[in-house]
Amino acid sequence: MDKIVIEGGVPLKGEVKISGSKNSALPILAATLLAEGTCRIKNLPLLKDIETMLKILEFLGAKIKIRKKAVEINTESVKNIPAPYDLVRLMRGSVCILGPLLARFRKAIVSLPGGCIIGPRPIDLHLKGLEKLGAEIEIDKGYIKAKAKKLKGRRIFLGGTFGSSVLATANLMMAAALAEGETLIEFAAGEPEIVDLANFLNKMGAKVKGAGSHLLRIKGVKKLRGVSYRIIPDRVEAGTYLIAGLITRGKVSIKGAISGHLGAIIDKTEEAGAKVEIKKNSLYVENSQWPLKSVNLITLPYPGFPTDMQAQFMVLMCLSEGTSVITERVFPRRFMHIGELNRMGADIVVEENSAIVRGGRKFVGTRVMASDLRASAALVLASLAAEGKTEISRVYHLDRGYEGLVEKLTGLGAKIKRTN
């Protein structure tokens, strides 16, 4: 099993290029199941989750050609066979093949995606929405079995316990694209990744309006065609490198970042005293004012502060002056990284769904263990700012969401290596 070794205390300097968005790529790859002809998806990040989704499509019968940062997918020979547990269990995002398969074949069998260490992520909103469209759904021996004589547009309210659901919105948008009549999705997710999926569907010939708002209107069409499409940059990766530049007191240019997708992250770092310069297609961060000050934070669905950046921002607050309260409203149990940060010298206590961070601390290098994707990123950030050497084990989590992390950080001057 691989580990990452980091010698901390080196200011990061230089330019880093942001990869394509994983959270856009997964539903867009699933949406190719709807197309007649070949789709060419560009700016595809080379990640473990992307590899898994391509394996699922290939298992179903798709013909796939990978060419550097692009993939050509022809789904004309796809068969309506059960999507297997051995592949679906590897990531939650694989459930988004359910809507396209049901829309195309009027029936689908997909394994339940399984549990997640950051807390429960039920798929009840997916199933509720598909039933509204006319599907009959049964859960049998760990598989979702869905069938429908036809899908018919309806009004669907998609609000959940912790707000809107990105994957449920994506699943229903894809199913409704080939449904009869008009579908209204109320309380839809408004994330940039949903807008990206809507743009892809519309380029294929779908009629989706309102993407980015909480009300989607989808007028069903008879068929969709294969197209060429470029995925947006990954806003979470961009935010992670922004924090990396700040905590190492460096000077980092983040190329390809879309500042409009990072509003809440930029706002909170500026509230803490950082200076973020917004340029065309890039951000520039230079930590000339140290220490920063502690600020309170609440994670919320977009355009609120993203839960996928909570752990990374917590690292910054550990080093800032004062006490901050970080409240998790999306995944209340998403604090698995706190124990390891405390081992490195942080002072964090958890009260229900809030973490109280006493800042002004120093991180000290030691051996730590990653528990999930974003927790892994937080440990890498803490290690970059730590005194001495840190060894991070179970780094396979990083392969799911950060393309070329070690290489990109090395390019910024970090003393980092990956070893077995």
pLDDT tens for the 420 residues of the chain, in order: 899 999 999 999 999 999 999 999 999 999 999 999 999 999 999 999 999 999 999 999 999 999 878 999 999 999 988 887 788 877 777 889 999 999 999 999 998 875 455 555 578 899 999 999 999 999 998 889 999 999 999 999 998 777 789 999 999 999 999 999 999 999 999 999 999 999 999 999 999 999 999 999 999 999 999 999 999 999 999 999 999 999 999 999 999 999 999 999 999 999 999 999 998 889 999 877 788 999 999 999 999 999 999 999 999 999 999 999 999 999 888 999 999 999 999 999 999 999 999 999 999 999 999 989 999 999 999 999 999 999 999 999 999 999 999 999 999 999 999 998
Residue 357 has which token pair? Answer: 């961070």
Element (H, E) at 254: strand 251-255
Residue 316: closest CA among 335, 341, 334: 341
**359 in helix, strand or coil?**
coil
Q: Are residues 270 and 413 in the same domain?
A: yes
Same domain (yes/no): 311, 388: yes
Question: Distance of alpha carbon 350 from its chain centroid, rounded?
Answer: 24
Domain count, the chain: 2
* In a shared domain, residues 222 and 261: no
Q: In whole angstroms, give the CA distance from residue 385 to residue 259.
A: 25
CATH code of the domain in which 329 resides: 3.65.10.10
Cα(128)–Cα(144) distance, integer angstroms = 13
Residue 307: name the closest of 315, 297, 317 by CA: 297
- Same domain for 266 and 195? no
Domain-terminating residue out of 167, 202, 230 = 230
- Confidence at residue 114, expressed as pLDDT on a 0 to 100 scale: 57
The pTM (predicted TM-score) of the whole model is 0.95
Instruction: Provide the pLDDT for residue 111.
Output: 85
Residue 115 and residue 251 share a domain: no
The dihedral sign for the CA sequence 57, 58, 61, 67: positive
Residues 8, 35, single domain; the answer is no
The pLDDT of residue 189 is 96
Summarize the annotated binding site for UDP-N-acetyl-alpha-D-glucosamine as residue ranges: 92, 121-125, 308, 330
The verdict on 48 and 175 lying in the same domain is: yes
How many other CB atoms are there within 10 angstroms of residue 210's CB atom?
A: 16
Residues 59 and 13 in one domain: no
Annotated binding site for phosphoenolpyruvate: 22-23
Which residues carry a binding-site annotation? 22-23, 92, 121-125, 308, 330
Q: Which of 39, 96, 116, 318 is catalytic?
A: 116
- Looking at the fold, whether 184 and 220 belong to one and the same domain comes out as yes
C-beta separation of 372 from 352 below 8 A:
no
User: Are residues 279 and 347 located together in one domain of the fold?
Assistant: yes
* 214 lies in the same domain as 133: yes
Full residue range of the structural domain in which residue 190 is found: 22-230
Residue 39 a catalytic site member: no
Same domain, 129 and 209: yes
Last residue of a domain, one of 192, 215, 230: 230
Question: Which residue, of 179, 195, 230, is where some domain finishes?
Answer: 230
Indicate the burial class of 172 (C-beta count within 10 angstroms; 0-12, 13-18, 19 or more).
buried
